[in-house]
Amino acid sequence: MSGDGLSVALHSRRGIVLEAEFAVAPGELLALVGPSGSGKTTVLRTIAGLHRPQIGLIRCNGEAWLDTAGGLYLPPQKRRVGMVFQDYALFPHLTALDNLILAMDGGDRAQRIRRARQLLNLVRLEGLEQRLPSALSGGQQQRVAVARALARDPRALLLDEPFSAVDMMTRERLQRELALLRQGIDIPVLLVTHDLQEATALADRICVLHDGKSLQTGTPEALFRRPESPRVARLLGRQNVFSGVVTRAHGGECLQWGGLTLELAQASGLPDGARVNWYIPDSDIVLHRRGRPSRGERENPVRGTVDECVVMGAQTSVVLRCHHTGDALRLSVSTHAARRNGLTPGVDATVSLLGKGLHVMAPREHARDPVAKGGFS
Amino acid sequence: MDWTAFRLSLELATWTTLILLPLGVLAGRWLAHHRFRGRGFVEAAVALPLVLPPTVLGYYLLVSFSPDMPLGGLWFSLTGQGLNFSFPGIVLASIIFNLPFAIQPVQRAFETVPLHLREAAWCSGLSGWRTFVRVELPLVWPGVISAFVLTFVHTIGEFGVVLMVGGAIEGETKTVAIAIYDRVQAFDDEAAGAMSLLLLLASFVAIGLVYGLAGKGRSVGVR
């Protein structure tokens, strides 16, 4: 385990099931993403010391916070975490300033007041120091909660759905402020959210949780383009997951999808005949223009009938039933392009599945070679 | 006007409140925070003095205070005195019949303090004790004041239990409530009326204080 930043390994099989492993570097923001009940808040509470798992190891900057094998459990007071609760949990009888001062240790009162004022300025609450939480708006309360979490000079910042209790306008502003605030702090930041857009916008990396298990951790780009399993793809709201067989053709690796042979830009390194799931992001499905050649037209052409065509503002969501396989491909095209190409239910259309977007998911029994071998087909 | 009885009642109420209030805060907090089997049973036992006829409670206390019984025997072996018809006896009886007044308001107050607030305090580095003093106690303060005032006033006004356990010994167990009864029996309407009026006024002020504080607690708004 690295001595720098926060590393978490939980393996509880009794009580609340937790099978989560990840590390967060100093200054990095990792988003824990999953549906409600996926255990993301429990993971956060475990790190803060508010939940005691059956088996686990948590280290922060080389210091063990939890080591069930060694019988070590530090209470929350000794962990130096800054925690922002979903409902903020501000002390209702104390002013904004006193909420911060109570969370500080060390230094005389004058120093604490000065530091608390600095922090309130940092979250743009100057002038509201003497307000009680009940006299602050939701967004202002959230800022006090963030400032209070930082008041303890924490080793890690933990945010539990910090934007869920405010309206959308405030949420966007607070998200921008958090992104700005992050630039000034060099501790690991952990954000729990069920909002994928929020995670994508704010996080350096995302950890996908389901039923208490961490399924995949990676950059948003990597997750959305290369989900490790159909389950991860589904949790990320990706729908174009199909099954196929790895084959060799034209001297390279290909993917047999029903009656179609798809060319891969990058070989999976899996043996011939391996049954796999594969995925393509809808950004790599290109609609062929009627009567005119389009970009990548010769690449993996797939013909089908439009099943569904739903206009959603500037974008139109299209479901294409493939003639060769009967599978439903989902793609998003600009409404303008959909109109120009006369896309309506019942009409035939052709799309190209760009080889660079095709992602073959390794079956469980094959650990995938991290370095892709083999050439282009 | 029987000033000895008044002084005795004040002493009784002070001792009862001093002993019972910390117990009430601990028990109220415990009942508010813990879910366990038999919790309803414990709560019912706490509430029992509210519904039990004072003579029934007094009778059982009288019996258990006897030196032949474990409680009375223990007290006798510690002090060499009996509990019945003594000042310590009516203090103990007051503590028992005031349990609901001391515990219930505190328990209700602790129930309004969300667990998140305590967790936030722990995550802010506050020890369990500092969390209690700096976060919980200020929030449950109206409940504690209610418990204090109700216990105090109720002790001064209690008649049946004190009479059963203490009798009416001048300067030892004859409280003002008993003194009023005593004066009425002796056709001394003037003294009975004066003492009754004083108790009425004191009770009204006390209850007014409780409602005033409870209202203040509501306006602060515990989230």
Chain B: residue whose CA lies nearest to A86:
B116
Phi-psi region of A115 (alpha: psi -120 to 50; beta: other; left: phi over 0): alpha
Nearest CA in chain A to B118: A89
Whether A158 shows a pLDDT value over 50: the answer reads yes
Beta strands in chain B (DSSP E): none
Q: Is A229 left (phi over 0), alpha (psi -120 to 50) or beta?
A: beta
| CB < 8 Å to A149, chain B | 123
Give the SS3 label for residue A248: strand
* Per-residue confidence (pLDDT) for residue A122, from 0 to 100: 92
Q: For A229-285, how does the pLDDT look when each residue is reduced to its tens digit (9 = 90+)?
A: 999 999 999 989 999 999 987 778 899 998 889 988 888 888 888 899 999 998 899
Check: complex ipTM more than 0.90: no
Fold classification of B3-217 is: MetI-like fold (1.10.3720)
Looking at beta carbons, which residues of chain A come within 8 Å of B133?
none
Contacting residues of A for B122, CB less than 8 Å apart: 49-50, 75-77
- Average confidence (pLDDT) over A98-127: 92
Q: What is the CATH number of domain A281-353?
A: 2.40.50.100
pLDDT band at A366 (very low <50, low <70, confident <90, very high): very low
Tokens coding A237: 């709201």
Beta strands across the sheet bearing A315-322:
A285-287, A348-353, A301-312, A315-322, A328-334
Listed residue (A186, A191, A194, A224) closest to A210, CA to CA = A194
In three-state secondary structure terms, A319 is strand
Which of B120, B125, B134 is facing A89, going by the closest CB pair? B120
pLDDT for res A373: 34
Residue B217 has pLDDT above 70, yes or no: no
Task: Provide Rg for chain A, Cα atoms.
Answer: 25
Set of chain B residues whose Cβ sits within 8 Å of the Cβ of A112: none
CA distance A175 to A202: 7
Residue B133 forms contact with A (CB below 8 Å)? no
User: Which residues of chain B are within 8 Å of residue A107 when distances are taken between CB atoms?
Assistant: none
pLDDT exceeds 60 at position A220? yes
The whole-angstrom separation of Cα A350 and Cα A291 is: 11
Per-residue pLDDT at A372 exceeds 60: no
Select from 2.60.200.20, 3.40.50.300, 3.30.56.10, 3.40.47.10 the CATH code of A6-234. 3.40.50.300
Cβ–Cβ gap B116/A87 under 8 Å: yes
- CA-to-CA distance for B44 and B114, rounded, in angstroms? 24
- Nearest to A345, CA basis, from A318, A313, A311: A318
Q: B124, B130, B140: best mutation site toward chain A, by most A Cβ within 10 Å?
A: B124
Q: Of B119, B125, B138, which is closest to A50 when you measure between CB atoms?
A: B119
Cross-chain Cβ contact A105/B125 below 8 Å: yes
Top-confidence residue, A208 or A106? A208
The pLDDT value given to residue A165: 85
When pLDDT is averaged across residues B6-35 and rounded to a whole number, the result is 95
Contact B120 A83 (CB under 8 A): yes
Q: In this predicted structure, what is the pLDDT of residue B218?
A: 52
Of residues A51, A33, A40, the one with CA closest to residue A212: A40
Q: Are A76 and A46 in contact (CB under 8 A)?
A: no
A371, pLDDT greater than 60: no
pLDDT digits 0-9 by tens, B168-183: 899 999 999 999 999 9
CB spacing of A77 vs B127 below 8 angstroms: yes
* Residue A233: how many other CB atoms lie within 10 Å: 24
Q: Which of B123, B126, B134 sits opposite A48 (nearest CB)?
A: B123
The per-residue pLDDT for A295 is 63
> Is B120 touching A (CB cutoff 8 A)?
yes
First-to-last C-alpha distance (Å) of chain B: 49
Query: What is the domain partition of chain B in residue ranges?
Result: 3-217
Chain A's closest residue to B127, CA to CA, is: A77
> Is the pLDDT reported for residue A161 higher than 90?
yes
Q: In this predicted structure, which of A152-166, A185-199, A354-368 has the lowest mean pLDDT?
A: A354-368
Range list of H helices, A183-310: 196-202, 220-225, 230-235
Lowest mean pLDDT across A162-176, A363-377, B17-31: A363-377
Decide if pLDDT at B109 tops 50. yes
CB contact under 8 A, B119 and A85: yes
**A77 contacts in B (CB within 8 Å)?**
122, 125-127
**For residue B63, what is the enclosing H or E element?**
helix B54-64
Pairing relationship of beta strands A29-33 and A189-193 according to DSSP bridges: parallel
For B62-100, b/e burial (b = at least 16 CB within 10 A) is bebbeeeeeebbebbeeeeebbbbbbebbbbbbbbbbbb
| Separation between Cα atoms, residue B204 and residue A60, nearest integer Å | 59
Q: Closest to A152 (Cβ–Cβ): which among B124, B135, B223?
A: B124
Q: What is the pLDDT of residue A296?
A: 63
CA distances from A194 to A155, A204, A236, A352, B127 (A): 24, 16, 10, 32, 32
pLDDT tens-digit map of B151-167: 999 999 899 999 999 98
Amino acid identity, position B96: I
Which residues on B lie below 8 Å from A83 (Cβ)? 119-120, 123
| H-state helical runs in B34-175 | 39-51, 54-64, 70-79, 87-97, 99-111, 115-123, 128-131, 137-157, 160-166
CB contact under 8 A, A77 and B125: yes
Distance from the B99 Cα atom to the nearest Cα atom in chain A, whole angstroms: 28
Q: Are A356 and A292 in contact (CB under 8 A)?
A: no
Predicted local distance difference test score (pLDDT) of residue A139: 93
Mean pLDDT across B116-144: 95
Task: Tell me the two tokens of residue B2.
Answer: 């029987």
CB contact (8 A) between residue A83 and residue B123: yes
Identify the band that residue A127 occupies on the pLDDT scale cut at 50, 70 and 90: very high
Q: Rounded to 5 degrees, what are φ and ψ at A311?
A: -80, 125
Residues of B in contact with A93 (CB under 8 A): 135, 138-139, 220
Does the beta carbon of B144 lie under 8 angstroms from any beta carbon of chain A?
Answer: no
**A283-309 pLDDT tens trace:** 899 998 877 666 666 789 999 999 999
Strands A205-210 and A29-33: parallel
Amino acid at B28: G
Residue B219 has pLDDT above 50, yes or no: no
Closest residue by Cα to residue B59 from B91, B16, B95, B93: B93
Residue A70 has pLDDT above 80, yes or no: yes
How far is the first Cα of chain A from the last one, in angstroms, to the nearest whole number? Answer: 40
Taking a C-beta distance cutoff of 8 angstroms, is the pair B63, B76 a contact? no
HEC letters along A135-161: HCCHHHHHHHHHHHHHHCCCCEEEEEC
- Among chain A residues, CA nearest to B130: A102
What is the C-alpha separation between B135 and A105, in angstroms, rounded? 16
Q: Write the residue in A80, A91, A133 that is nearest to B135 by C-beta.
A: A91
**Across the interface, which of A49, A134, A148 has its CB nearest the CB of B124?**
A148
* Average model confidence (pLDDT) across chain A: 90
Phi, psi of B72, rounded to the nearest 5 degrees: -65, -40
From residue A105, how far is each of A81, A144, A165, B206 by CA, in Å? Answer: 13, 18, 29, 40
Q: Coil, strand or helix: which one is B97? A: helix
Q: Specify which residues A208 forms β-bridges with.
A: A33, A216
Question: Tokens standing for A302?
Answer: 């797939």
Residue B220 pLDDT more than 70? Answer: no
